Amino acid sequence: MTEVRISERPRGGAGSSAGLFRSFHRARLRAALRVRVPLLVLASAALAAGIWGGITATPSARVDAATQPTGRVAGPAVAAPVAQLAGGATDPAAAQAAASPAVVSAAIDPADGQPIASISPVPAVPPQAATPVAPTPLYSISVTARGHQTELDACQWVRMDVGAIAPIVGAHNFCHGDIVLDMTMGEIVSVTGTDLDGDYQITGSRDARAGEDAARATAGLSGDLLFQTCYWDDARGLRLVTAVKVDLSLPPSVVG
């Protein structure tokens, strides 16, 4: 019988080498894991922080975009008016536009849904012409008699038809006839009585002498009525005031 011997491999042989390599690979894996795991943890933390920051920043960014103006202005730019002396504008249309207020409206931009400011000038409203105001009578005379000297001496306002260019209404200055001395052009006198009712506007005056021919004394004058009284200074004689009848319900006319 043949004797079979099983000999042991020396400790420094192939089996020992494989064990050493396995130990070496395990050591490298542990070293690599010690480096890669912290890096992986840091990268994951950074990625999570970035995602969280994007989530939390999105509403704020949207709010800012919605509340901040886009900076786009439709239409022509509105320049600040230039100070000028009155009447210095050479372009009436530009002067009117500069003086007009502006209306700001908002439109939606279809590209991003943001409002676009739009400024358009409001046409200036021309000032309304003032409605003429009829003058108010400053004097009121009630004619109570027809006649001449006798009626005047009775201290009345008297209508005298003596051949002048128009009827004469007179009174002594000491019987309130002195208002004739104060009458000036353009003033209104209200008259009642003896078919002379109406309002009369003063157009002029002339001096005359008592006893003078009425037609000659009033020649060249025109009017619908004459007012007469004496000056306080007898040497000056009489004052004759011409007047035309007016309708105060109509716009006043200019007496010149």
Is residue 231 within 8 A of residue 237, CB to CB? The reply is: yes
Half-sphere exposure of 144 (CA within 13 A, CB side): 9
Domain of residue 193 covers 139-246
Among 151, 25, 176, 192, residue whose Cα is nearest residue 160: 151
User: Is 211 inside a domain boundary?
Assistant: yes
User: Is 198 inside a domain boundary?
Assistant: yes
User: Is 71 inside a domain boundary?
Assistant: no
Amino acid identity of residue 11, one-letter, is: R
User: Is 154 inside a domain boundary?
Assistant: yes
More confident residue, 171 or 53: 171
Total number of domains in the chain:
1
User: Is the confidence at residue 146, as pLDDT, over 50?
Assistant: yes
Residue range 8-67, pLDDT digits in tens: 444 544 444 555 556 665 666 666 666 666 666 676 776 766 666 665 554 444 444 444
> Residue 114 to residues 59, 62, 66, 222: CA-CA distances in angstroms?
16, 11, 7, 78
User: Is the confidence at residue 84, as pLDDT, over 50?
Assistant: no
250: CB partners within 8 A, 6+ apart: 134
CB atoms within 10 A of CB 246: 18
User: Is the confidence at residue 209, as pLDDT, over 70?
Assistant: yes
User: Is 162 inside a domain boundary?
Assistant: yes
User: Is 169 inside a domain boundary?
Assistant: yes
More confident residue, 45 or 3: 45
User: Is 186 inside a domain boundary?
Assistant: yes
What's the pLDDT score for residue 44? 72
pTM greater than the 0.85 cutoff: no
The CATH number given to whatever domain includes residue 154 is 2.40.260.10
Helix, strand or coil for residue 130? coil
